[in-house]
A and B are shown apart, each in its own frame.
Chain A
Amino acid sequence: MSMLHASQAADAPISTGGTPPTASLMRWVAAATLPGIMTMTAFFGLGVLSNIVLAAAFAFVLESTVLYLRKRPILPALNDSSALVTGVLLGASLPPASPWWLIGVGMVAAVVIAKQLYGGLGQNPFNPAMVGYALLLVSFPAHMTLWAPPQPLVGESLWAQIMGSLPSEQIDALSGATPLDAFKQKADELSATRFWANDPLPAGTLEAWRMISLAWLAGGALLLARRIISWHIPAALLGSLALLAMLFHLADANQFASPTFHLLTGATLFGAFFIATDPVSAATSRRGKLLYGAGIGTLIIVIRNLGGYPDAVAFGVLLMNLCVPLIDLYTVPRPEGHARGAMR
């Protein structure tokens, strides 16, 4: 039995062979969301931070409560920071300044149902944050699909929004549309060039989304550089997404947006680096990860272009989570010494 461990061997000649302990791994993921969160805050105001703070608070409270009820040690589980990561990721996915009860409902679905009821960290077949997100999306579509346009740091009715006390007419008035949403809603006979020439979005929206996407990319690059995630899932996801978007675009440029548009708007890059790479609910072998990522990328484009929802990262991830056992079954690597094709 190995008596040496990477985390305890400070004198190892090359320490990159291993990953940091699970807890610090989770904290690195949380840290890598900072560029994206800060950029989002810069464009959409403090409502972004309020989402994340509330979601993280819910995560800690719910996780401790369930662990207490399950009679499991609470501190080690809180210390691994996995609940924090779930909170940060769900918080970052929600429209800025979402009401507290919306966040609460989402976190109950994420932490209690998707994670703890399946047995806690490592046991959940579905990505917890995306379970929460999908539940909110189908249950409260009005709250979930309308993003406010870019605005100053402190919006006019920030507090009222968070408290959920804003009348619904005012919510509609505050809300703009995401680029993905706007393009989807455009009239069929309107050509894409005319659509963009009219610029139907509130000023600066498209630029804001591009900057935010690039910030998520920067965070993803940090995770890759620290070897916290492997390149397989993001590369396969983005590659298949770009390829399929290109095919659609070539077939009908008026109906279907360009690959660049798909890559740089919506939750594509956030999803590719922070959501799809959740190791617990992803496929395990290298080949399996490639298949898994490619499946998500494909589903995102199919749903965006042909389905009823403007964005589809959550559904893409959840549907591929379902496929993981199957993928794992058929991608067991061929160990050294087994003849090619001799697998059972």
Chain B
Amino acid sequence: MMPLFASRGGIYPPERKSRSNQVPLQQAPLPARVILPLRQHSGRPGVACVTPGEYVKTGTRIAKRDGLISADVHASISGTVTQVSAHAIQIEGDGLDTRHTLTPLDWRETDALTLLARLDESGVVGLGGAGFPAQFKARVIERHAIDTLIINATECEPYITADDIILRHYPGEILEGAQMMASLCGASQIMIGIEDNKPEAIAALKQVIAQSRPARVTLSVIPTRYPSGSEKLLIKTLLNRTVPSQGLPADVGVLCHNPGTLLAALQAVKSGQPLVERVMTLTGEAITRPGNYWVRLGTSIDELLAHVGLERARLSKVVQGGPMMGNTLDTLNAPVTKLTNCLIAADQAELPPAPPASPCIRCGACESVCPVQLLPQQLHWYAHAREDDKLEQHHLFDCIECGACSYVCPSHIPLVNDYRNAKDRLRHQQIEAAKAEHAKHRFEFRQARLAREEAEKQARRHARLAQGKSSSGSSAPTTAPQADLRSLRIAQTAAKAAVRKAEKVLAREAQQSPDESHDDLEMQLATARENLKAADLKLAQARQSAQASEESQ
């Protein structure tokens, strides 16, 4: 057993997990109709690739990844596409659930590129809540050296038990999924971080580890304390490595995955099943059959809750996610997405409305529970006074929005709300300030596209010319000096480096703030790619003519 490294702060909220983890995993009924949003992940929405009236099977791709940080979307039932809007695709089911599967692969025998392509075309994204595209996360090896893959099975939010339950049911598959992802990113060891309030899941994992004796897998049972599952805190606890502020786990050689993601990734590879369903926790006092269910993506939340016995008279609110970091739904007329890990149908007593806030008396309770050592009450003052430089000086952007401060505040001040609003305001200012920059990037993209098209035209003309010449037998003009070839080669290398750099910047930004739009960075990447294409074409063309002139001599 590895030693655990203490971190500061944290709270002990009521767990309320027993309501949903006492029953085995169940299957929610096949929905008659699904609405699949094009954006069920961080980054850009997918682009619809079906038209109304088209017949689709369960697992047919209906939207394609658009840009670097984006993901495919698949039909979660078989039937007919009835509506394609800018945001979502609606499918009317035929009730047959005819499956479209990809070729099953043995990941140990398959090369990395094929595996990455499989994750890509299966639409696997992080199922813990952030929805970061798994294929892109696995490609981290292009930019960072990774030595440890962490299975984040802490599930520290109250109420949620989805990871707990799938760990009990699929411990072997999850471990195998972790081994696959570890081999993809080059991690030599796997660590499982799990809170000590999940004895059954721990037992299941121990049994699997004892049976299969995998190399370099460590199971670390950590004390139950919110928010132990926050990625950076978990890395500190398990490995005593500190992820730098504004940095990524990959900066310290770590990749974290949620058990659900690993299961989905393995299923995509081993059984060729795209991501069309997920396990989610349905709980709360206002439903009579709480538990964990396999639910098809796109299922209506209203129908789903009705299926588990929603008592509408008792219902006070429906929370998506956990009670600490989740959000209250305005309408039940919304679909389940890849990001929906939990729905809490709460009655008035269990999640009562917050009492009115009274003034801050600077008691410091918030400071003592803050897991990242901020001064929440100072941030509160500065957020209200809109002192933006002070906010940044007090590290507002290091706040992980865990809600521990709001939980303990004796004056019931909605601190996290203040911070979110302040962050939004500051980001908005940055976007406004960068508008001119965006316009420049758009212009550069257009220039690059035109240049690439010009290069293509040139290449075609050149090819025609060369063909004509070879048939006519006349000698080619020997105007391909070596120096020109060399400078083209240098230009091509520079263009490649620019693409890599643009990818890196985008990847970092997207992982740091998965909820933001990164269109500008995507555009810069596209520009770099156009430049690379043009450089490639020019180089190939110059080489050809050089070759031709050599031959003719």
Q: How far is the CA of A120 from the CA of B411 in the complex (A)?
A: 14
Q: Are A336 and B408 in contact (CB under 8 A)?
A: no
Q: Are B243 and A337 in contact (CB under 8 A)?
A: yes
Q: How far is the CA of A82 from the CA of B354 in the complex (A)?
A: 22
Chain A contact patch, size range: 35 or more
Give, as a whole number of angstroms, the nearest-CB distance from B196 to chain A.
Answer: 12
Judged by a CB distance under 8 angstroms, whether B395 is at the interface is yes
**Interfacial chain B residues near A1, Cβ < 8 Å:** 327, 403, 406, 414, 416-417, 420
Which residue of the partner chain, among A2, A21, A333, A344, contacts B324 with CB atoms under 8 Å?
A: A2
Judged by a CB distance under 8 angstroms, whether B364 is at the interface is yes
User: Contact flags (1/0) for B219-244 with A, using CB distance below 8 Å?
Assistant: 00000100000001100100000111
Judged by a CB distance under 8 angstroms, whether B313 is at the interface is no
List B316-374 residues whose CB lies under 8 Å from chain A: 319, 323-328, 346, 351-352, 354-356, 358-365, 367-369, 371-374
Q: Are B407 and A4 in contact (CB under 8 A)?
A: yes
List B260-295 residues whose CB lies under 8 Å from chain A: none
Q: Are B361 and A280 in contact (CB under 8 A)?
A: yes
Which residue of the partner chain, among B14, B15, B411, contacts A21 with CB atoms under 8 Å?
A: B411
Q: How far is the CA of A22 from the CA of B324 in the complex (A)?
A: 22
Judged by a CB distance under 8 angstroms, whether A62 is at the interface is no
- Give the interface SS of chain A, mostly helix, strand, loop or mixed: loop
**Interfacial chain A residues near B408, Cβ < 8 Å:** 6, 17-19
Q: How far is the CA of A5 from the CA of B374 in the complex (A)?
A: 20
Q: Are A76 and B358 in contact (CB under 8 A)?
A: yes
- Give the interface SS of chain B, mostly helix, strand, loop or mixed: loop
**Interfacial chain B residues near A7, Cβ < 8 Å:** 355, 410, 412
Q: How far is the CA of A212 from the CA of B158 in the complex (A)?
A: 47
Among B5-13, B113-121, B539-547, which stretch is in contact with chain A? B5-13
Judged by a CB distance under 8 angstroms, whether B394 is at the interface is yes
Judged by a CB distance under 8 angstroms, whether B245 is at the interface is yes
Which residue of the partner chain, among A12, A76, A82, A337, contacts B12 with CB atoms under 8 Å?
A: A12
Judged by a CB distance under 8 angstroms, whether B393 is at the interface is yes
Q: Are A280 and B373 in contact (CB under 8 A)?
A: no
**Interfacial chain B residues near A25, Cβ < 8 Å:** 361, 363, 410
Question: Contacts A1-B416, A3-B319, A21-B411: A11 and B232 contacting too (C-beta < 8 A)?
Answer: no
List A325-344 residues whose CB lies under 8 Å from chain B: 328, 332-339, 344
| A337, closest chain B residue (CB) | B245
Judged by a CB distance under 8 angstroms, whether B247 is at the interface is yes
Judged by a CB distance under 8 angstroms, whether A230 is at the interface is yes
**Interfacial chain A residues near B404, Cβ < 8 Å:** 2
Judged by a CB distance under 8 angstroms, whether A198 is at the interface is no
**Interfacial chain B residues near A14, Cβ < 8 Å:** 12
Q: Are B372 and A284 in contact (CB under 8 A)?
A: no
Q: How far is the CA of A25 from the CA of B359 in the complex (A)?
A: 13
List A1-54 residues whose CB lies under 8 Å from chain B: 1-15, 17-23, 25
Q: Are B410 and A12 in contact (CB under 8 A)?
A: no
**Interfacial chain B residues near A3, Cβ < 8 Å:** 319, 323-324, 326, 328, 346, 351, 354
Q: Are A344 and B393 in contact (CB under 8 A)?
A: yes
Give, as a whole number of angstroms, the nearest-CB distance from B408 to chain A.
Answer: 4
Q: How far is the CA of A338 from the CA of B395 in the complex (A)?
A: 10
Judged by a CB distance under 8 angstroms, whether B378 is at the interface is yes
Q: How far is the CA of A280 from the CA of B326 in the complex (A)?
A: 32
**Interfacial chain A residues near B365, Cβ < 8 Å:** 18-19
Which residue of the partner chain, among B362, B375, B377, B410, contacts A18 with CB atoms under 8 Å?
A: B410
Q: Are B393 and A332 in contact (CB under 8 A)?
A: yes
Q: Are A21 and B407 in contact (CB under 8 A)?
A: no
**Interfacial chain B residues near A338, Cβ < 8 Å:** 244-245, 395, 398
Question: Contacts A17-B408, A284-B378, A336-B373: A8 and B352 contacting too (C-beta < 8 A)?
Answer: yes
Q: How far is the CA of A19 from the CA of B377 in the complex (A)?
A: 15
Q: How far is the CA of A205 from the CA of B41 in the complex (A)?
A: 75
Q: Are B11 and A18 in contact (CB under 8 A)?
A: yes
Q: Are B372 and A337 in contact (CB under 8 A)?
A: yes
Q: How many residues of B contact A (CB 8 A)?
A: 67
Judged by a CB distance under 8 angstroms, whether B139 is at the interface is no
Q: Are A337 and B398 in contact (CB under 8 A)?
A: yes
Q: Are A6 and B361 in contact (CB under 8 A)?
A: no
User: Contact flags (1/0) for A150-168 with B, using CB distance below 8 Å?
Assistant: 0000000000000000000
User: Contact flags (1/0) for A237-280 with B, using CB distance below 8 Å?
Assistant: 00000000000000000000000000000000000000000011
List B176-231 residues whose CB lies under 8 Å from chain A: 224
Judged by a CB distance under 8 angstroms, whether A80 is at the interface is yes
**Interfacial chain B residues near A200, Cβ < 8 Å:** none
Which residue of the partner chain, among B158, B368, B375, B410, contacts A4 with CB atoms under 8 Å?
A: B158
Give, as a whole number of angstroms, the nearest-CB distance from A30 to chain B.
Answer: 14
**Interfacial chain A residues near B363, Cβ < 8 Å:** 19, 22, 25, 279
Q: Are B358 and A285 in contact (CB under 8 A)?
A: no
Judged by a CB distance under 8 angstroms, whether A282 is at the interface is yes
| B406, closest chain A residue (CB) | A2
Most buried by B among A5, A15, A344: A5
Q: Are A335 and B372 in contact (CB under 8 A)?
A: yes
| B401, closest chain A residue (CB) | A1
Which residue of the partner chain, among A15, A280, A337, contacts B362 with CB atoms under 8 Å?
A: A280
Judged by a CB distance under 8 angstroms, whether A182 is at the interface is no
Give, as a whole number of angstroms, the nearest-CB distance from A159 to chain B.
Answer: 38
Judged by a CB distance under 8 angstroms, whether A175 is at the interface is no
**Interfacial chain A residues near B410, Cβ < 8 Å:** 7, 18-22, 25
Q: Are A336 and B7 in contact (CB under 8 A)?
A: yes
Judged by a CB distance under 8 angstroms, whether B16 is at the interface is yes
Q: How far is the CA of A333 from the CA of B325 in the complex (A)?
A: 24
Q: How far is the CA of A74 from the CA of B272 in the complex (A)?
A: 67
Judged by a CB distance under 8 angstroms, whether A121 is at the interface is yes
Q: Are A337 and B364 in contact (CB under 8 A)?
A: no
**Interfacial chain A residues near B324, Cβ < 8 Å:** 2-4
Q: How far is the CA of A122 from the CA of B368 in the complex (A)?
A: 19
List B286-313 residues whose CB lies under 8 Å from chain A: none
**Interfacial chain A residues near B242, Cβ < 8 Å:** 336-337
**Interfacial chain A residues near B233, Cβ < 8 Å:** 336
| B244, closest chain A residue (CB) | A337
Question: Contacts A4-B407, A21-B411: A13 and B360 contacting too (C-beta < 8 A)?
Answer: no
Q: How far is the CA of A23 from the CA of B354 in the complex (A)?
A: 16
Q: Are B14 and A11 in contact (CB under 8 A)?
A: yes
Which residue of the partner chain, among A13, A17, A21, A279, contacts B364 with CB atoms under 8 Å?
A: A279
Give, as a whole number of angstroms, the nearest-CB distance from A89 to chain B.
Answer: 15
Give, as a whole number of angstroms, the nearest-CB distance from A63 to chain B.
Answer: 13
Give, as a whole number of angstroms, the nearest-CB distance from A307 to chain B.
Answer: 29
Q: How far is the CA of A132 from the CA of B407 in the complex (A)?
A: 35
Which residue of the partner chain, among B359, B368, B372, B406, contacts A5 with CB atoms under 8 Å?
A: B406
Give, as a whole number of angstroms, the nearest-CB distance from B392 to chain A.
Answer: 9
Q: Are B364 and A230 in contact (CB under 8 A)?
A: yes
| B224, closest chain A residue (CB) | A13
A sample of 15 more A-B contacts (CB under 8 A), given A17-B408, A338-B245, is A1-B420, A3-B351, A4-B323, A4-B324, A9-B13, A9-B14, A12-B12, A14-B12, A19-B410, A21-B410, A22-B359, A121-B359, A230-B364, A279-B362, A336-B245
CB-CB nearest 10 A-B residue pairs: A2-B403, A18-B408, A122-B359, A337-B245, A14-B12, A2-B406, A11-B14, A3-B323, A17-B11, A279-B363
Residues of B near any A CB (own CB < 8 A): 7, 10-16, 158, 224, 232-233, 236, 242-247, 319, 323-328, 346, 351-352, 354-356, 358-365, 367-369, 371-375, 377-378, 393-395, 398, 403-404, 406-412, 414, 416-417, 420
Query: What are 25 A-B residue pairs whose CB atoms fall within 8 Å in the complex?
Result: A2-B416, A4-B14, A4-B158, A4-B323, A6-B11, A6-B408, A15-B12, A18-B11, A19-B363, A19-B365, A19-B410, A22-B410, A121-B358, A279-B362, A279-B363, A282-B362, A284-B375, A285-B367, A332-B375, A333-B374, A333-B375, A336-B242, A336-B373, A337-B232, A338-B398
